[in-house]
């Protein structure tokens, strides 16, 4: 067992993962939380294990589980990301019926409208802004809130709650209970409002979703909205911010994108591979012994999939540490793999394409305010976030 490993370590995040990956595709170590885990850094091993029938979610996976009430656990952890079949199959079918591709594609005009308004505000603010506060955060939080049906007045307060809920492991149990409890209470009030006055939004569709006589329970509803709010926007914030940072650091790639804007979808995929929004997936557990890559994972042992190094695995990708929007083949694991593959991936891709394309169109001379500095990454077990990105317009 190695010394405790802090997956949230700051600006040298990619370097730290690369050093671990150099030892092999699986490493047995201890997280900063005190939990021993198998950290999987190989691309092929990650795909194989995420699709393995004996790699499952654990009922004890949740944050601060020994210090929060059963009621709060049930209200936040009855969603499809943390349950196994057959419950996962049932929940995904019900949620997919509401979270349709047609609903997502219909958002494009509104996403462009929101982005245009934010870009106008940036232009009026002067030459220098923090991209996260001015653009990367307000765009996806506005989109997800409008998609679900959350009133504008509640969004800023929600930002404080969600930052704690998403990264519970780096906050105290008291902080997490306060934030999660506030979100649950807010969601329950919102559900009651939607039941009395349904609208053309996702929450109304989730309330009405049925498969024969089956429908989502109250805890499943609150859990699903909790997931969409807390995780659904944070990942897109990171996609936009990391994408802008990566492209500004590679002027040749940005120039190519500006000259050939049809490469925008490929650029988004390359950003997802090169510096994706998640550094690791929610932990899994082996329910039976598994032999892989010369290692033996015993039943009951925890598995953490390190998506950042897996996406830069040199056995899979040529020149993995270079940003190259012309890659002819760009398979990555930024949205996971297997039955828990991210349902919101089409929305994230759509927002990423719109956000990057409109930003560079509006501000063709956009540049980093401090190009010689690496921006600090936010402390997190899961997220790969840049908390501030000062830019000059």
Q: Note the pLDDT tens digit of each residue in 122-134.
A: 999 988 999 999 9
Spatial CA neighbour of 282 closest among 378, 179, 168: 168
Strand order in the sheet with 302-305: 4-5, 26-31, 36-40, 302-305, 284-286, 55-56
The label of the residue with tokens 């506030």 reads 182
Q: Note the pLDDT tens digit of each residue in 239-269.
A: 999 999 999 999 999 999 999 999 999 999 9
What is the pLDDT, as a whole number, of residue 265? Answer: 97
Q: Is the pLDDT of residue 5 over 80?
A: no
Cα–chain-centroid distance for residue 346?
13
CA atoms of 384 and 162, how far apart (whole Å): 15
What is the pLDDT, as a whole number, of residue 4? Answer: 44
What CATH class does 4-392 carry?
mainly alpha
User: Considering only 3-17, 274-288, 365-379, which range has the smallest mean pLDDT?
Assistant: 3-17
User: Considering only 43-52, 67-76, 84-93, 382-391, which range has the smallest mean pLDDT?
Assistant: 67-76
Query: Model confidence at 229, in pLDDT bands (50, 70, 90)?
Result: confident
Mean pLDDT of 203-224: 87
Q: Note the pLDDT tens digit of each residue in 117-164.
A: 999 999 999 889 999 999 999 999 899 888 888 876 666 677 777 777
Q: Is the pLDDT of residue 345 over 80?
A: yes
Q: Are strands 367-368 and 55-56 parallel, antiparallel or unpaired?
A: unpaired
Task: Report the chain's mean pLDDT, rounded to a whole number.
Answer: 89
What is the pLDDT, as a whole number, of residue 211? Answer: 67
Spatial CA neighbour of 381 closest among 28, 122, 31, 64: 31
Cα separation of the two ends of the chain: 48
What is the pLDDT, as a whole number, of residue 105? Answer: 86
Query: Model confidence at 2, in pLDDT bands (50, 70, 90)?
Result: very low
Q: Note the pLDDT tens digit of each residue in 34-56.
A: 889 999 999 999 999 999 999 99
What is the pLDDT, as a whole number, of residue 170? Answer: 67
Handedness of CA 279, 357, 359, 349 (dihedral sign): negative
- Non-local (6+) Cβ contacts of 364 within 8 A are 258
């Amino acid at each position: 067992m190695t010394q405790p490993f802090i997956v949230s370590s700051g600006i040298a995040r990619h370097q730290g993962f690369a050093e671990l990956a150099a030892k092999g595709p699986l490493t047995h170590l201890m997280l900063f939380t005190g939990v021993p885990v198998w950290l999987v850094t190989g691309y092929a091993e990650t795909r194989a294990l995420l699709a393995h029938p004996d790699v499952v979610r654990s009922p004890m996976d949740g944050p601060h589980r020994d210090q929060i009430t059963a009621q709060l656990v049930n209200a936040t952890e009855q969603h499809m990301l943390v349950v196994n079949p057959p419950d996962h199959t049932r929940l995904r079918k019900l949620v997919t019926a509401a979270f349709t591709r047609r609903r997502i594609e219909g958002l494009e005009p509104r996403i462009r409208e929101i982005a245009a308004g934010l870009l106008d505000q940036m232009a009026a603010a002067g030459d220098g802004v923090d991209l996260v506060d001015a653009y990367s955060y307000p765009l996806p939080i506005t989109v997800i809130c409008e998609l679900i049906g959350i009133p504008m007045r509640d969004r800023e307060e929600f930002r404080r709650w969600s930052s704690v809920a998403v990264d519970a492991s780096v906050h105290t149990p008291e902080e997490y209970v306060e934030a999660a409890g506030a979100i649950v209470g807010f969601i329950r009030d919102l559900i009651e409002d939607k039941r009395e006055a349904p609208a053309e939004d996702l929450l109304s569709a989730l309330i009405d979703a049925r498969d024969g006589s089956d429908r989502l329970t109250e805890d499943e509803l609150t859990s699903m909205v909790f997931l969409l709010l807390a995780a659904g926007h944070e990942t897109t914030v990171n996609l936009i911010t990391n994408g802008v940072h990566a492209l500004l650091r590679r002027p040749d790639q940005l120039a190519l994108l500006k000259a050939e804007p049809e490469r925008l979808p490929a650029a988004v995929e390359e950003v997802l591979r090169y510096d994706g929004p998640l550094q690791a997936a929610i932990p899994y557990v082996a329910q039976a012994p598994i032999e892989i890559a010369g290692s033996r994972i015993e039943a009951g042992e925890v598995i953490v999939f390190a998506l950042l190094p897996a996406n830069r695995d040199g056995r899979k990708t040529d020149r993995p540490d270079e940003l190259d929007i012309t890659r002819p083949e760009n398979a990555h694991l930024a949205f996971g793999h297997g039955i828990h593959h991210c349902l919101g991936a089409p929305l994230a891709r759509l927002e990423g394409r719109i956000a990057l394309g409109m930003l560079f169109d509006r501000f063709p001379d956009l540049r980093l305010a401090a190009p010689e500095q690496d921006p600090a990454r936010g402390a997190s077990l899961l997220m790969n976030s840049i908390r501030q990105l000062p830019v000059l317009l």
